[in-house]
A and B are shown apart, each in its own frame.
Chain A
Amino acid sequence: MRYMITLKATAKPTTPPPAELMEAITALGQEATAAGALLDTNGLAPSAEGARVELVGGKLSVTDGPFAEAKELISYALYQVRSKEEAIEWTSRFLKLHRDLWDGWEGEADIWRVFGPEDFAPGA
């Protein structure tokens, strides 16, 4: 089963992310990759560098970032694991690093199951 995990920050300290946090994140990523669980992950640049394409009432519109949302999407990860609980466990480890190494940071990670071949199997 694959899970996509999206991470949003809700409260950011004024200080930049400490080097220890970045190192710990890299180490955890290595561990999850070595365990065969982490397939892909990347950080996302601020939405000011992005754009939004919308379809409303049959009309397309393009708006440059930043988006108005209070919570910025800051990274994504794609895991292949055996259960939702395993995805929750890896995600919890990721957030614990933020708790322990970056005072004042708050955020939320959403876990989405990605459809796979099993969802399209005959009789599924």
Chain B
Amino acid sequence: MLESVVMTGGDPRQAIEAVWRIESARVIAGLARMVGDVGLAEELAQDALVAALERWPESGVPDNPGGWLMLTAKHRAIDLLRRRSRYDQKLVELGRDMEIRQEAAEAELDDALDDHIGDDLLRLLFTACHPVLSTEGRLALTLRLLGGLTTEEIARAFLVPEPTVAQRIVRAKRTLADRRVKIEMPAPDELAERLSSVLEVVYLIFNEGYSPTAGADWMRTSLCEEALRLGRVLAGLMPDEAEVHGLVALMEIQASRAAARIGPDGAAVTLLDQDRRLWDRLLIRRGLEALGRAEALGRLGPYGLQAAIAACHARALSPEDTDWERIAALYRLLAHVAPSPVVELNRAVAVSMAYGPERGLEIADRLVTERALANYPQLPAVRGDLLERLGRLDEAGEEFERAVGLTRNEQERALFTARVAALRERGAQEGTGRR
């Protein structure tokens, strides 16, 4: 029985697109398992969408729209493979054809979306994030196949022309086909590395939407939501992986600050200056829960540790309540599992907050010769701040001047320039006082 829903409100096309958004990843994932090719799977799924757009406005949305899309796409797959095998009698394809025919015969609308779905989704995600693909290709393919985003939406989100994204997707699909990448779960000995590639893609999508360069375009901020959604889906599929929960926790907590991180004038507001009443308590709660799940699974990895640091801020009702000793200790662990000069610089700040500017400066000073930070404006900015707190005003002023010269962000430049001016004024006043 297919009963339709009476629609008086809304545009049927948009209603169908909403169903597509909900179901497309699962449909593509199921088809990919059958035909062994993500490009073909996506085409077949698109064909099913076109059929739905033709059929549903009159018949109504069926009760099991995902099953309907899947079954329709399966029939197309059978037709296609039959036509192909007529010309090309490859045994492999014949074998697959038989398999699909049998499967389709058994398929009922209700179980067209079967138990494989979770596994299928995971395999598709690992394939879309495969290391043979460029980073850009991975991002575009993941949003397209797992997020159900159109090429145009991805282009808008990444602020690049639509043909560029289309090309990235085509190239990625071709690479997967050329390199004969199988749509399967990585072998156990590769799992950790491949999972970190998946997590990296999800976090890059999140940061693309979260970065302060984000315009007012809704699509860009929605990238954060898309990444969160992917992370939550992944956490459901791989509940025993601590880092998956760690990444979800990190994204939930960072997203909780969205309303507070841009001031009324459009300028970025730094963490300690944010109005914490604007933080989203629901996302903080969800983030802390996800962090709890990560901690329960064992030692925290890089994402879990970053989430634990973010959680210290989230728990503090005011900046003065921040547990800086814990943050400094967590940065030490983070520097151990994922060493990087940027982490070390953040550790310097945390240590200075916990144990005084002198201890922080010791760490920051060691970074001056670090080549990776040679053009990083935050290094002189942090050193300037610490020097100022130590009363070494002239040196502090020089550091902020250096920061002004390095930054390419207008807001930051204004901020650093103001610090230089304030330091000069303070220096002049204290100079006169001494005389």
- List residues of chain A with CB under 8 Å of any chain B CB: 1, 33-37, 39-40, 78, 80, 82-86, 88-90, 92, 96, 116-118, 120-124
Contact = CB atoms under 8 A, between A and B. Distances in A.
Interface residues of B, number: 34
B233 interface: yes
B18 A88 contact: yes
A119 B216 CA distance: 11
Nearest to A89: B18
Given A82-B226, A117-B221, 20 more contacts: A34-B233, A35-B22, A35-B233, A36-B230, A36-B233, A39-B286, A40-B282, A80-B225, A82-B18, A82-B222, A83-B14, A85-B10, A85-B11, A85-B17, A86-B21, A89-B22, A89-B61, A121-B216, A122-B216, A123-B216
12 contacts: A33-B236, A35-B233, A36-B228, A36-B231, A85-B14, A86-B18, A88-B18, A90-B22, A116-B259, A117-B221, A117-B258, A122-B264
Contact of B15 (A39, A85, A116): A85
Interface string B190-224: 00000000000000000000000000101001100
The binding surface of chain B is classed by DSSP as helix
Contacts of A82: 18, 21, 222, 225-226
Interface string B242-269: 0000000000000000110010111000
Contacts, number: 76
A40 B63 CA distance: 24
A34 B231 CA distance: 10
B265 A122 contact: yes
A85 B11 CA distance: 9
Contacts of B14: 83, 85
B291 to A, nearest CB: 17
Contacts of A78: 282
B92 interface: no
Contacts of B266: 122-123
Contacts of B228: 36, 80
